Chains A and B, each alone.
Chain A
Amino acid sequence: MLAAVRRMIRPADAPPLAIVRSLAYFLPVIEEVLETEVGEEYFQYARQKLQRLRTS
């Protein structure tokens, strides 16, 4: 989820990202989440952010 949110929230003039073709793409962010012990509150925030993106 975190990786997908980061892909979606980018400057409007940023070049388009390529399609993800491998689960390994998400490996660094998974490691990051495991190492930093991201709290449930942050994921809640990310979900709300996604909802706002969806409705806007």
Chain B
Amino acid sequence: MATAISDPPHGLGLQSQTAFYQDRYWFGAQTEAPGVWRQLLFPVALTGRTTVVLEDAVAVRGESGGAGEEAGMDQQSSGREDYVRKVLEVYRKTPGTCGNVRRPDRLLAIQFYRRGIPVKRSSTPSCWPRYAA
């Protein structure tokens, strides 16, 4: 059952954006509860001027905010940068990779963050053999 984006589920705000990823468009939104951040990603279809939610959210990420929305934004931005840096560092050090990070890699890491994929799961153990090119 499709839902018009002008009537978003769960009382979501519309201050987020739509992005193309993995062969489909995604609409990211956040709850407006003070001090609590929740990011949801909805697969959507863009038809002319209308954006339609195709399914329920596929990813939810909750995070403590600060005293208000602005503090939450700062924390979220800082948390995202830390997360992306860690993911790219793990990727760069993984045996078999070229050791270079490019813009698409950074964008994908941001998508991982938005999906709430824990960086711990992709962490590189200290026992990595050194990669011989």
Chain A residues at the B interface, C-beta cutoff of 8 Å = 1, 3-4, 7-8, 17, 19-24, 26-27, 30, 33-34, 47, 50-51, 53-54
Contact = CB atoms under 8 A, between A and B. Distances in A.
A26 B95 CA distance: 12
Interface SS majority for chain A: helix
Interface residues of B, number: 26
Nearest to B105: A23
A1 B109 CA distance: 16
Contact of B127 (A19, A20, A34, A54): A54
A20 B122 CA distance: 16
Contacts of A54: 127, 129
Interface stretch (B39-47, B61-69, B96-104): B96-104
A54 B87 CA distance: 23
A52 to B, nearest CB: 10
B128 interface: yes
Interface in B7-58: none
